[in-house]
Amino acid sequence: MDIQSIKLRFGIIGSDPQLDRAIDIARQVAPTEISVLIYGESGTGKEVFPKIIHQLSARKHGAYIAVNCGAIPEGTIDSELFGHEKGSFTGAHESRKGYFETANGGTIFLDEVAELPLSTQVRLLRVLETGEFMKVGSSKVIKTDVRVVAATNEHVPEAIRKGKFREDLYYRLNTVPIIIPPLRNRQNDILLLFRKFASDFAEKYRMPAVQLDEEAQKKLIAYRWPGNVRELKNITEQVSIIENNRLITGITLSKYLSNLNSELPVLYKDKKSEENFSSEREIMYKLLFDMKKDMHELKKLIFDIIVNNENEEVGQNMKSSQALQKIYHDIHSDINFGKGEPEVIPAQEIRISKPDNADEDFDDTAEVYEESLSLQDKEIDMIKKALDKYNGKRKKAAQELGISERTLYRKIKEYNI
């Protein structure tokens, strides 16, 4: 069966080369028993590809079960997948078959497989390697002949690094990867999909199909589509039902497009940006330091107003230099994420007016502590502390700082640390 025939059979719309490539891979691996891992953002239509693989395989007459791993509570996921014996846990009033036993001879689609608990991942790995499993509460080994197709919208290597996904299971599932392109990378397909959805909803609700003017078409293509095809379908349905005018203008369409992607800057990762900002956490640190600098400027301005104010009422509230010193110390407290003491430079002295009702031993001097506001100094200090904490081990220090080891090495050379 060629790619076009597969599109017609499974209702796939589009001519994007990346989409055609994904369909071609599914077509080629279908007759084999190879495990497949499907990558794609939420709403891209990942659920269609396991059906293609199942229907074009020798297992097409067997059972096909789709399981959303993220929708099943952690406490019951083992029972759902592998079954349980009567009395194995509270509420287990009778023995129950799991999906792997029910789908014997068929195919199981594990959607959002990265959401599986680690204990369940161990059980799944055994099924993939030996075809064996045990029910919850049983010691009897059961054999099953099931093909597993998994899908995820997460970056699995990152989940492995965080200890949330087993590396051996990843390599066992990822024998052949299939990557589904997001809708924003399929710009030539967006208008085609809109027209198809508009036609379907016109037939469903018995009304004329909506159409887009030139400005609306441009807005539709320029939008980033965080929800991908699913979001496009939902918006088409909303417009079809709500709008009386069947010709949709750009202004009208804008009311239905989310502002989350169209108006705010997007953090996009590529090799070049990863070198400058290896993680969102590093960017957040820099933003916090900028906010800190602005806050200190504001606090300094407030203190200058207090010191220069000779109002009697203000003077009465400052009965001693110790009180003024405490106020100034509070104003210049270091915002250091709850760690360590404020960093200060050698103290300077300031003069203040002596209040009329102050004691004779009133001390008219107070020490002023000013900390360095240099972002570079703060960055050097944080790098040094991280390196000291891990005895000079750059990899662990980089993890502590939330940056890549490459970025840390570059900064060490730049600052001559």
What mean pLDDT is predicted for residues 153-165? 93
Domain CATH for 241: 1.10.8.60
Domain boundary among 179, 200, 215: 179
pLDDT at 171: 94
Q: Do 21 and 97 fall into the same domain? A: yes
Of 278-287, 302-311, 319-328, the range with the lowest mean pLDDT is: 319-328
User: How many separate domains does the chain show?
Assistant: 4
Is position 272 within any domain? no
pLDDT at 342: 42
What mean pLDDT is predicted for residues 89-94? 83
Is position 126 within any domain? yes
Q: Which two tokens stand for residue 17?
A: 């080369």
Domain residues for 352?
A: 281-368
What mean pLDDT is predicted for residues 354-366? 48
In this structure, are residues 353 and 321 in contact, taking their beta carbons and an 8 Å threshold?
no
pLDDT digits (tens, 9 = 90+) for 25-77: 999 999 999 999 999 999 999 999 999 999 999 999 999 999 999 999 988 99
CB atoms within 10 A of CB 107: 22
What mean pLDDT is predicted for residues 374-388? 81
Q: Which two tokens stand for residue 1?
A: 């069966």
Q: Do 170 and 31 fall into the same domain? A: yes
Averaged pLDDT score across all residues of the chain: 81
pLDDT at 9: 95
Q: Do 40 and 175 fall into the same domain? A: yes
**pLDDT bracket for residue 326 (50, 70, 90):** low
Q: Do 30 and 67 fall into the same domain? A: yes
pLDDT at 90: 81
Q: Do 380 and 305 fall into the same domain? A: no
Is position 270 within any domain? no
Is position 275 within any domain? no
pLDDT at 336: 42
Domain CATH for 385: 1.10.10
Own/partner pairs for 32-35, CB < 8 Å, 24+ apart? Answer: 33/147, 34/175, 34/176, 35/128, 35/147, 35/148, 35/149, 35/150, 35/172, 35/173, 35/174, 35/175, 35/176
Q: How far apart are the first and last CA of the chain?
A: 62
Q: Do 189 and 320 fall into the same domain? A: no
Domain CATH for 104: 3.40.50.300
Domain boundary among 179, 199, 227: 179
pLDDT at 199: 96
Q: Do 53 and 156 fall into the same domain? A: yes
pLDDT at 412: 85
State residue 34 phi and psi, 5-degree precision: -70, 140
Q: Do 68 and 91 fall into the same domain? A: yes
Place of tokens 């939330």: 402
pLDDT at 283: 60
Place of tokens 């030996």: 130
**pLDDT bracket for residue 11 (50, 70, 90):** very high
pLDDT digits (tens, 9 = 90+) for 181-235: 999 999 999 999 999 999 999 999 999 999 999 999 999 999 999 999 999 999 9
Domain boundary among 156, 179, 202: 179
Is position 388 within any domain? yes
Is position 290 within any domain? yes
Q: Do 80 and 148 fall into the same domain? A: yes
Q: Do 41 and 11 fall into the same domain? A: yes
pLDDT at 282: 58
Q: Do 341 and 294 fall into the same domain? A: yes
Q: Which two tokens stand for residue 140?
A: 């009897």
Q: How far apart are CA 245 and CA 187, in angstroms?
A: 26
pLDDT at 385: 86
pLDDT at 332 over 70: no
pLDDT digits (tens, 9 = 90+) for 246-266: 999 999 999 999 654 444 444
Burial category of 267 from C-beta neighbours within 10 Å (exposed 0-12, middle 13-18, buried 19 and up): exposed
Is position 383 within any domain? yes
pLDDT at 327 over 90: no
Is position 63 within any domain? yes
pLDDT at 207: 94
Q: Do 33 and 67 fall into the same domain? A: yes
**Residue 16 in 3-state DSSP?**
coil
